[in-house]
Structure 1
Amino acid sequence: MRWVTYRSDDGERSGVLHGEVIHAAAPGTTLLELIRLGPDGLREAGERALEAPLATPRLDQVTLMAPIPRPPSIRDSLCFLDHMRNCRAATGRSRELEDAWYRIPAFYFACPSTVLGPYDDAPTAPGSVCQDFELEVAAVIGTPGADLSVVEAEQAIIGYTIFNDWSARDLQAAEGVLAIGQGKGKDSGVTLGPYLVTPDELEPYRRNGKLSLHATAIVNDVIIGIGSTEAMDWSFGEIISYASRGVPLTPGDVFGSGTVPTCTLLEHLDPTLPQPFPGWLRDGDVVTLQVQGLGEVRQTVRASAPPLPLPERRRP
């Protein structure tokens, strides 16, 4: 099933998309509430909506929101090691990775309060002149649990969606010297959408147990990068298992895959890549991200107001 959250004259609603028509669940019922019912409960709710929908708006009659507009948590991972290798090469460093990258499935916590819908305008990070996008896929947890095995972690996934990790590269670089994790370089926005696609829908795209979804990143109708989720070095099961060590995961928690290699502007600072660097995102640029089986998100970048200054500090 493909689940959506949408805004119409009736307010915020959730439902199952069938063709171009949404089969709505009961008013006031959020997709997060249905996810908390677990895979069987979500499937049964979808079957009821398809058989006896309480509304049937067409996609062109509503505004799609993020499937889960207010997720309990968002963790963004780095499951594609070629993305890190490409970023290192683009910034003049060796492509060789430290041993830790092969031992630890890296992730950081993103900002749930700046989630954007699939067609919302995307604000630049205040003060940044190096705004970037990152094409990813996200897995959403549907079963609570802690200390999950890799198999249990895979079984806990209730659906997938497109994930765009908007990134202010200049702010990210400035904060990187602090070595305490991601900050303002990352929390101006996270896009989720357009649908939450249940795992059974994606079974035709599995190859040797791995999801093989073709992905394309486009800026102003020019293809920037092309790749596949089959290139993931760390699986969702592995990253979710690692994150669950001593930590309870809850339904609706979102895990980003990390960037599909070449599907971000930063990597194209490397002159050896076939697509040259087109410049950082500017007001009015349109970013379109497409993932096989998951649909498309399309957003216009909008400039933000300058940040309010902080008092200066002098070194002692």
Structure 2
Amino acid sequence: MSTNVNIDWDKLGFAYSKTDLRYISIWKDGKWDAGKLVEDNNISISEASTSLHYGQQCFEGLKAYRTKDGSIQLFRPDENAKRINRSCERVLMPEIPVDKFVDACLQVVKANEAFVPPYGSGATLYIRPYVIGIGDNLGVGPAPEFLFGVFCCPVGAYFKGGLAPVNFMISEKFDRAAPHGTGADKIGGNYAASLLAHVEATKKGFADCVYLDPATHTNIEEVGAANFFGITNNNVFATPKSPSILPSITKYSLIHIAKEYLKMNIEERVIPIDSLGEFIEAGACGTAAVITPIGGIEYKGNLHVFYSETEVGPITRKLYDLLYGIQFGDVKAPEGWIVKVK
């Protein structure tokens, strides 16, 4: 196993790289086995697995952070455990006990400690838990067996050159999810459905697209694979409310920070696309980037600019700095948010 790794932390991107060990557990005959760490980063499954043909699978994403004193910590892994279980329930897969999920993540981080980037590099260790249906199953129905896996890899700071606004366009041809579908769950089909819209947006010079609600196409839902928020001129942190939005752990952390640290008012509500003018700042939030400041959104041929296309708004920056500081141990965290690895 690696004790020292030869990685240029400053040049890391958000890309896969193999680390030493990963965790695998199998569900069979009504229960999960004890699970184990393995060296092989390939898995062997039946060609008839439901995950391959019917999309019976889900995943999560979280990070391990190196603090100034050299210790390592996870950020709210219990919330990832709860969310993966909601996803499992939606596509008829067995739930994973929260303690088992968190322990699997801890085992993987400890086993790959050498790959946790140093404090100050802006890089982190990305952790990817997943559950897939496996075994011989030709008909449309739940799999006879399931695999719960966790792997990790070091990833660079999402923002090369610092926090900076980017522009988005409204997706008028594509929906991310169906009404009453799986939009609130972290399953692969939602992401597959977004690939074409993302490519078309980037071809037009935008970072990604903003999806409107699938029922009426009048209200903002998600920004690419992230949640939307807006800041009003009367100190309100507003974010869309819809049954087809993935509940972002980052977003709900920002809601707490906005309310408790910055004394802002919080509104989870319908946000019509025609009401962009009420926001003086806007952003997208998620695990990968923490916050992506939104410079402007193009809708029906017009670009609506929020604070600036080149400068980050002051409230957005405060939110980012506070959450980033909590994750890296520089700002006192709310009770229960941090799990120490070592």
Assess same fold via TM > 0.5: no
Higher relative contact order, structure no. (Cα contacts within 8 Å, ≥ 6 residues apart): 1
Q: TM-score, normalised by structure 2?
A: 0.24
Q: TM-score, normalised by structure 1?
A: 0.25
